[in-house]
Amino acid sequence: MASFTAVKLKFINTSMNSQFIQSLIAGIFIGGLAGYLGSLMVTKKMALAGDALGHVALPGMGLALLLGIDISIGAFLSLFVGVIFIWLFGLRTALPMETLVGIVFVASLAIGFLIIPQFELVEALVGDISNVTQSMAVVSVFLSLVIFFILRKLYPGMILINISEDLAEVRGIKVKLYNLAYLLLITAVVSLGVKITGSLLVGSLLIIPAATSRNLSNNLRQYSLISIFMGLLSCIAGAFLFRYFNVPAGPAIIIVSTIFFLASLLKKK
């Protein structure tokens, strides 16, 4: 009997270690990708867009939880619909884009609270990295790499557009197409990010590592690389806090990231 109990405990520990490793791997890739995209968003002064879109994902996450499917799928569908509505509203009114985003944001938040089951609300808001399965981890790694290489291809053009749209058009860059691709990339990254930090905190996963890097970097290359490093390092630290101190991973990741930002303020200009 004692031998059977020991074998059972060993199996449980092995299973927990495997779960932690796959969650950690997913967090590393998503965190690094979010940091890289965040460096572009901060440059374009669109850092808060990620936070707003995180809330737009809430209704889709609620439906995904009710149907028992991956919340990233629901988040992406909800975000995609939200982006289409923002675009359509922009065609029908002269209101600024941030106002339209705000309208879709609060409407999505209200719908999400109505849809999401009460006992799963906290998970949707702050994430649960322990629910990352092996298949989810593989898909997250694959999508993170695909999005990274697409973003890397678009990055120089987006920087030029940020400097001058007219100059970008002269250089043969299709500004509207780039902006659409950029918005869809944000949608994809936020959809992945809600898995580990939830809809409430996913914006911080994009903003804080990039802001930290801005304080530490001396050129554009350093800026993007340090953003990636800070994003993945925050996810690693948050995952270990979750593993060994039973601290919710989402808030832990953001707190660690904030500490890194505060430390970056010590650098002399």
Q: What is the pLDDT of residue 163?
A: 80
pTM of the model: 0.83
Fold of 31-264: ABC transporter involved in vitamin B12 uptake, BtuC (1.10.3470)
Among 29, 53, 240, CA closest to 139:
29
The string of pLDDT tens digits covering residues 79-104 is 888 888 877 787 787 776 667 777 88
Residue 225 confidence class, pLDDT cut points 50, 70, 90: very high
Q: What is the pLDDT of residue 262?
A: 93
The string of pLDDT tens digits covering residues 22-31 is 888 888 999 9
Pairs from 16-23 (Cβ < 8 Å, separation ≥ 24): 18/134, 19/130, 19/132, 20/239, 20/243, 22/132, 22/133, 22/134, 22/136, 22/137, 23/129, 23/130, 23/132, 23/137, 23/196, 23/239, 23/249
The string of pLDDT tens digits covering residues 156-194 is 888 888 888 788 888 888 877 887 788 888 888 888 888
Q: What is the pLDDT of residue 234?
A: 92
